[in-house]
Amino acid sequence: MKTCLIVDDSSVIRKVARRILEGLEFQIVEAENGEDAIETCQRDLPDAILLDWNMPKMDGYEFLRLLRRLPGGDKPKVVFCTTENDVAHIARALHAGANEYIMKPFDRDIVEAKFQEVGLI
């Protein structure tokens, strides 16, 4: 079973994403900010990361930059999931090493399509 780390400061979004991804047969780990997420990844790298942009302590962009510098940090597929829906943010995320980008609000079909797109399903 593949693992997915959900990084979002909103417990509601984490809950919704968990329900969708468990339905897609992922084992879920959660973090509520970038700092916690980096600590989690230093212990054990997941197969996938669903990542919010705006979070307290460390935002998604900074987390992604640090993740990609970890040993093996290029392996997890990172899918941004954020309300930052303009082209400039999307381009910046891809440049930082994101594999895909989900604009909130999202539904199961979108998550499934994006995870398929990066070969996670």
Partner 1 sequence: MTPLDYDFLRKCLKDRSGLVLSADKEYLVESRLLPVARKAGLANLGELVSALKAAPQDALMTAVVEAMTTNESLFFRDKTPFEHFRLTIMPALLAARRASRVIRIWCAAASTGQEPYSLAMSLKEMASEIVGWRIEIVATDISNDVLEKARAGLYTQFEVQRGLPIQLLIRHFTQSGELWQIAPDIRAMVKYRQLNLLNDFSQLGTFDLVFCRNVLIYFDSETKTDVLNRLARVTAADGFLVLGAAETVVGLTERFKMTADKRGLYVPNTSAPRLATAGKPMPRLVAVGGR
- Point out which residues bind partner 1 (CB under 8 A): 85-87, 90-91, 94, 100-103, 106-107, 109-110, 113-114, 116-117
Q: Closest CB to partner 1 among 38 and 50? A: 50
Q: Closest CB to partner 1 among 75 and 94? A: 94
Please state the closest distance from residue 119 (CB atom) to partner 1, in A. 12
Q: Closest CB to partner 1 among 39 and 107? A: 107
Please state the closest distance from residue 67 (CB atom) to partner 1, in A. 18
- H-run or E-run covering 65: helix 60-67
- H-run or E-run covering 11: helix 11-23
Does residue 14 contact residue 6 with C-beta atoms inside 8 Å? Answer: yes
Please state the closest distance from residue 107 (CB atom) to partner 1, in A. 7
